[in-house]
Amino acid sequence: MLKRSLFALAALCALSTPAQAQDRAVAVTFDDLPYQAADAVLCDPAQAMALTEDFVGMLRPLETRAAAFVNEGKVCEERRAGLLPALLNVWLDAGLDLGNHTFCHLNIHRNTVETYLDDVDQGAPATRAVLEARGRALRFFRHPFLFTGETTEKKAAIAAGLAGRGYTVAPVTLDNNDWMFAAVYRKAEADGDEALKTRVGEAYVAHMAVVMDHWEPYSAELTGGREPAQVLLLHANTLNRDWYPRIHALYQARGYRFVTLDEALADPVYGHADDYVRANGVSWLHRWTASEGRPIRWEPEPPKWIVDAWEAAN
């Protein structure tokens, strides 16, 4: 009788457990280092260092294994040589990785390939130096605005230029427009409006859950039902300084492992053809979907009140 009961219990457990649990992995990336802040703040060593240390201090216990992408031109020229390496070393001391995001976040659609690649080169010296001082190499590149070229010829020329310089492009699969929430958050911060800051932060976390409900099954369509390792795009700003831990917890609750960018890019999906050529910046999931000749299904927009507040501030 006991044996029969144990068998029945085992059968019940089998029915209530998925046949194969989804192995979810995400590489977290932060753009626009040293920080999304006013020029004057990033030219003040004390303020710039405080922002950096607070942000990295928030990340350190979470073990994100993140990579961050640098715009070296964000630090004013008179402070750059001394201040920028000090800021970047805070990230490296925490075990995080660094990549090139161009010197001044250049828009390729408004510039020539030659100008763009020159900006890539100008964006490398300090980042390369702090990495090489630790026996590491500058390997990753992230396109500003996720723009890769609005014509086939320009896209191919940029890709060839980056490859010739030894860069591995850091694609993005998960994008949630955090920069829009961050702009509204900065305005609330400047106005001393704590209630609005809380409202924006809570809306940001809720929106992340909404877009994940879109991205997860959408990504699995490219891999026969298996969700690939994802790459999440966020930015170094006060919104994420204050609210990223809630985002991190959301991913944990959804069963994600936090992996390095190298580990994520080892997923076969990143070898998918990318024939997408338009004057906008989108997730690589959209690029791959379009390259297969299937219609793109766009992710949900941020709440209307966030869009309206962002438009009013710009």
Domain of residue 301, CATH code: 3.20.20.370
50: three-class secondary structure by DSSP = helix
Ranges under pLDDT 70 in the chain? 1-21
Number of domains in the chain: 1
In a domain, 8, yes or no: no
Quote the pLDDT of residue 11: 35
DSSP code, position 305: H
In a domain, 6, yes or no: no
Q: Helix crossing, 238-253 with 45-59: angle to 10°?
A: 10
Closest alpha carbon to 172 in 274, 38, 255: 274
In a domain, 144, yes or no: yes
Q: What angle do CA 155, 285, 122 make, to 5 degrees?
A: 40
Whole-angstrom Cα distance, residue 230 to residue 158? 24
In a domain, 296, yes or no: yes
Quote the pLDDT of residue 157: 98
CA dihedral for 261, 262, 267, 269, sign (positive or negative): positive
Quote the pLDDT of residue 16: 34
In a domain, 168, yes or no: yes
Closest alpha carbon to 125 in 75, 65, 55: 75
Whole-angstrom Cα distance, residue 36 to residue 7? 59
In a domain, 212, yes or no: yes
Full domain range(s) for residue 184: 23-313
In a domain, 293, yes or no: yes
In a domain, 15, yes or no: no
Quote the pLDDT of residue 89: 98
177: three-class secondary structure by DSSP = coil
pTM of this prediction? 0.92
Q: Residue 122 is encoded by which pair of tokens?
A: 């100008």
pLDDT digits (tens, 9 = 90+) for 15-54: 333 334 679 999 999 999 999 999 999 999 999 999 999 9
